[in-house]
Amino acid sequence: MHTVFYVSDGTAITAEVFGHAVLSQFPLPFEQFSVPFVEDKEKALAVRERINHSFHQSGKQPLVFHTIVDDKVRHIITDSDAMCYDFLNTFVAPIEQQLGVKAEPRTHRTHGMDNRQHYDARIDAVNYALDNDDGVNTKEYDEADIILVGVSRCGKTPTSLYLALQFGIRVANYPFIDQDMKHLTLPPMLKANRHKLFGLTIDANRLQEIRQRRRADSRYADPEQCRYELNQIERLFRMEAIPFIDTTFHSVEEISVKILERAGIRRRIF
C-alpha cells in the first residue's frame, strides 16, 4: 500500500481535503498521515527522515502533498525520495500570469485567524445553533437564517452545527415529537418565520436503526412509530409547502449545501 503524507506549515487541512479528493479517484487503498506545522528547517529535516524511512520500509514510493510557503523549508521536503506534489504553488504561476500580479506568500493563510470578524461570525453562529437547538428556545427565531424542522434524530443538529462552523450561518432547529403527531400543525413562532423553514426527512428503516442505538427497544425506536412519525411530518411539509430534503443518503456537507442553494443563501468562505 502506498503511503501519503500531507505536509504543511499550517494545519494541513487544505492539503488533506484536496488530497483526499484527488486520491478518491484511484481504486487503491492509501495509508495517510497528516504532518502540520512544519515551519522550520529542523522540523522539515525530521519529516524528510520519516518519509525516506517509510519508503525504505515499504518499498513503495510515498506520495507527498505539500503546502509550504518558505522556499528553504519546502526544498528540504521536496528533496526527499517521495514523489512530491506542490499543492500550493502549482496554480500560483498561471494565476500570476493571468492577473499580472505576483503572489505574496504568507503562512496561516487559510485556517489561521487572520480575520477576527469572520472568526467571531462562526463562533457566534455555533453559539446560536446550540442556544436554539431542539426547540429549547423559540424566542430568537428572528435572528435565524434558517430553521430546520423534522422528527427526532433525522439530522437537524449535526446539520445546524456544520452550517454554523463551515459557513457562519445561523440555524435554529425544532423537533416534532410523538405528542405532536396526532394534530400536527406549525406552532406560532414557526408560522411567523415560515420563509426560513426547511424540513428534513429520512428513510424509516434508517431512523429506526439510529433510534435503536440511542434508546434500545423503546417505543421511540419502534419501526411502526418511526414510519408513523415520518408519514405525519411529510404530510405537514406538503400541506405547509415547506421545502424538504431526505437526508438518508447524503452527508452533512451535501445536506448543508443543498439547503443553502434552495434558500438562496450565499455561502461565506472562511
Binding residues for a copy of itself, rule CB under 8 A, total 76
Beta strands in the chain (DSSP E): 2-8, 30-35, 63-67, 83-86, 146-151, 171-176, 197-201, 244-246
User: Which class for 209: exposed (0-12), middle (13-18), buried (19 or more C-beta within 10 A)?
Assistant: middle
Question: Nearest distance from residue 184's CB to a copy of itself, in Å?
Answer: 26
Q: How distant, in Å, are the alpha carbons of 118, 126, 162, 255, 268 from that of 166?
A: 11, 10, 6, 13, 9
Instruction: Name the segment binding a copy of itself (CB under 8 A); options: 47-55, 153-161, 216-224, 237-245.
Output: 153-161
For residues 11 and 232, which CB has a smaller minimum distance to a copy of itself in the complex? 11
Grid coordinates belonging to 239:
400541506
Residues within the annotated binding site for ADP?
150-157
What's the CA gap between 168 and 160, in Å, rounded? 10
Residues 155-214 that bind a copy of itself (CB under 8 A): 155, 157-158, 161-162, 165-166
Site for a copy of itself in 47-66 (CB under 8 A): 61, 63
Give the residue with the Cβ less far from a copy of itself, 46 or 103.
103
Among 109, 227, 246, 265, binds a copy of itself (CB under 8 A): 109
Q: How far is the CB of 23 from a copy of itself (least distance, A)?
A: 8
Grid coordinates given for 261: 442553494
Restricting to residues 246-265, which ones interact with a copy of itself according to CB under 8 A? 249-254, 256-258, 261
* Nearest approach, Cβ of residue 74 and a copy of itself (Å): 14
* Contact pick of 1, 56, 71, 106 for a copy of itself (by CB under 8 A): 106
**C-alpha cell belonging to residue 178:** 410523538
Question: Smaller CB distance to a copy of itself: residue 119 or 228?
Answer: 119
Cα–Cα distance, 182 to 179 (Å, whole number): 7
Enumerate the β-bridge partners of residue 87.
none
Q: Is 228 in the site for a copy of itself (CB under 8 A)?
A: no
* Listed residue (106, 248, 107, 261) closest to 198, CA to CA: 261
Q: Which of 105, 189, 228, 234 binds a copy of itself (CB under 8 A)?
A: 105
Exposure string of 215-232, with b = 16+ CB inside 10 Å and e = fewer, is eeeeebbeeebbeebbeb
Residue 21, number of CB atoms within 10 A of its CB: 9
Q: Which of 53, 75, 95, 177 binds a copy of itself (CB under 8 A)?
A: 95
Give least dist CB 208 to a copy of itself, A.
14
* Pattern 111-150, a copy of itself, x by CB under 8 A: xxx-----x--xx--xx--x--x-----------------
